[in-house]
A and B are shown apart, each in its own frame.
Chain A
């Protein structure tokens, strides 16, 4: 597949974006259309630890999970649902295991679709296992296993193909713990994008060959690491202004999947997806207030503002008072979707979108930049130099800093402001020459990060 960079915005203005509608809707699975005028819940789950002991145990666990979700959907009268299975490592390392699970799940979903007409689709997300104990090995034998996994799950019932790829993480982990803004830019914006280009051309080829959907990636490995380290308001591990800087830089990186043939819906934990949607016009999954089972964030309402799929991120399968966890969380997600779909049907979608956004807009620098109007502005900065992967990542970072430096109504701590000031100065000092930046970073990180292997990026 060829790489086609985005150099224009899909939406003419930020206000055009709403939940449940994408410029380029995607048909998938059993009569489902994503971003075509309604929102759908995407339920995500993890098997209990002991289920990983054998393929048979895993299949049985996922059958229980799937039946529980589908049964609850019809019991409460919800019209559509997406199930996402993020592979445990055994399922990707042994492609036949992942395939067997996909087949078992899809069989149950087909039965429910046939009997009740419920629209549904199955997303499978192999693990990015392209590494050895000491080093990442993004190209080579492990890549072959990943691609074999994609082939087999696509043949066995998965409708949407995704992954949370890790390109650049070896540099990012080093940089983020040292407030190293150029390092974050190099890791996510440059190395991350290079790996995305490579990986997603392959995934999109598989999807095309098998007649399924090449759905998209998320910068979970980097931007979410920054968000989790940053934590809550009182945590002292990373300035939230730096966490959102990593997020802004991750937008052009995650965009690369859609430049290499993916069509959406993007993965749920990509909080950068609001920027990606503004640029690509493709449907996106999001998670927030209904993914507190997996993690906390500081923008739970706001991030729902323009979702097409609404996810719970992940929950371990076990019993609760209200049923199993997947039943409880799928029901909560679907009630959120019912509200959004009511707003869409009654013409009130922009009012609800704005209420969601306004309730969190000033909660945190991360929320402020991801408010759809500010996210759109970051998108414009990216497409301005859309053909240059370094420059567009730098533009995203600069636009993020500008948004915060010119913010109105957002209170920040001295520490957050100090980190922002330092980042702004460091970005100002970075060259605008792509080759110079890449060459300087290569020299520096080869010395400072022993596990950095340039050959992973064909460098």
Chain B
């Protein structure tokens, strides 16, 4: 059998470029200093749901407001996770597990108060009609929630009329659409046309599988998202005032 030294044939750039700091060390530098918030943030980073609740109980017992804890501890802990993900220090499964722990923490806090938390904005997530492949949508939804957005998850194989009705009901800042197949992504155009007919100008961020920038550019509300991680960045840009044209300028890289 032929074995050839890889020198000059390939370079594992991920090995070459690897950061020397471990994820735990990087996270430790970002945790809040408050001694009640720090263990909650650390538990979020570790994805340990029980420890999150334990930390929240301790903070509430010490007199902290449950609803304020969502922003001051849970979201701060989650930001450590999303920042490190954006920097390439940690991987997606870490974000998913942390998001699970954060959501459990939020539910716990809500159960401890009569007040409702204020969220950054609503985003609707859907999979194109006729398409049942929804792992991309699940990742997008988790990353949006991890960044503090309320997600209305319409699930998979969503009829265009249902998407329109949901937009009218919830008035989101953005809707995301994912599809795996070339034939199902055609439904995005239909959704777009229904939205436009209703006078809606909200950005419709689309991506996944066979979806590409050229196709998404053919309908007026379409913004192409190459990666799931683009979704919270788009939401952030919308909150800062970006419209469809500005989003295309920023996210259409091809």
- A interface, CB within 8 angstroms of B: 15, 46-52, 88-90, 131, 133-134, 173, 176-179, 225, 229, 233-234, 236-239, 316, 351, 354-355, 357-364, 373, 409, 411-416
Contacts and interface: CB of A to CB of B under 8 A. Distances in A.
B14 A413 contact: yes
B178 to A, nearest CB: 13
A236 B91 contact: yes
A236 B85 contact: yes
Interface in B13-40: 13-15, 17-18, 22
Contact of B2 (A51, A316, A355): A355
Contacts of B157: 133
A426 to B, nearest CB: 13
B10 interface: yes
Interface of B: 1-6, 9-10, 12-15, 17-18, 22, 85, 88, 90-93, 96-97, 100, 130-132, 134-135, 138-139, 142, 155-157, 181-186, 210, 215
A359 B9 contact: yes
Pick from B15, B156, B184 the residue with the most CB of A within 10 Å.
B15
A362 B4 CA distance: 9
A413 B182 contact: no
- CB-based closest 7 A-B pairs: A354-B2, A49-B186, A237-B92, A52-B183, A88-B183, A233-B14, A362-B6
Contact of A48 (B13, B88, B182): B182
Pick from A48, A177, A409 the residue with the most CB of B within 10 Å.
A177
Contacts of B183: 46-47, 49, 51-52, 88-90
B186 A229 contact: no
A50 B5 CA distance: 49
Contacts of B215: 49
Contacts of A364: 12
B91 A234 contact: no
A225 B184 contact: no
Contacts of A361: 3-4, 6
Contacts, number: 113
B15 A131 contact: no
Given A46-B183, A46-B210, A409-B6, A177 B93 contact: yes
Nearest to A239: B91
Nearest to B89: A236
Nearest to B188: A49
A178 B3 contact: no
Pick from B10, B22, B183 the residue with the most CB of A within 10 Å.
B183
Given A236-B88, A236-B90, A238-B91, A358 B2 contact: yes
A353 B190 CA distance: 48
Contacts of B134: 173
A414 B18 contact: yes
B74 to A, nearest CB: 19
B160 to A, nearest CB: 14
9 contacts: A49-B182, A134-B155, A173-B135, A177-B139, A234-B17, A237-B92, A359-B10, A411-B15, A416-B14
A371 to B, nearest CB: 9
A360 B10 CA distance: 8
A300 to B, nearest CB: 11
Nearest to B154: A133
A313 B210 CA distance: 12
Given A225-B135, A362-B6, A178 B15 contact: no
Contacts of B91: 236-239, 415
A49 B2 contact: no
B1 A15 contact: yes
A357 B2 contact: yes
Given A316-B182, A355-B2, 7 more contacts: A233-B14, A236-B88, A236-B90, A358-B4, A363-B6, A414-B18, A415-B91
A373 B138 contact: no
A270 B142 CA distance: 29
A229 B91 CA distance: 11
Contacts of B22: 414
A49 B6 contact: no
A51 B96 CA distance: 37
A52 B186 contact: yes
Contacts of B12: 233, 362-364, 411-413
Given A49-B182, A49-B186, A178-B97, A234 B92 contact: no
A358 B3 contact: yes
A176 B15 CA distance: 23
Contact of B93 (A48, A238, A354, A413): A238
Nearest to A88: B183
A201 to B, nearest CB: 24
Pick from A88, A173, A233, A354 the residue with the most CB of B within 10 Å.
A233
B53 to A, nearest CB: 17
B9 A177 contact: no
A412 B15 contact: yes
Contacts of B17: 234
Contact of B18 (A134, A238, A413): A413
A90 B131 CA distance: 11
Contacts of A178: 93, 96-97, 100
B96 A131 contact: no
Contacts of B182: 46-49, 316
A133 B156 contact: yes
A234 B13 contact: yes
Contacts of B210: 46, 316
A234 B3 contact: no
B39 to A, nearest CB: 22
A409 B7 CA distance: 11
B184 A89 contact: yes
A363 to B, nearest CB: 5
Contacts of A46: 181-183, 210
Given A133-B157, A237-B91, A354-B2, A363 B15 contact: no
B1 A373 contact: yes
Contacts of B181: 46, 88-89
B14 to A, nearest CB: 4
A131 B2 contact: no
A363 B93 contact: no
B191 to A, nearest CB: 14
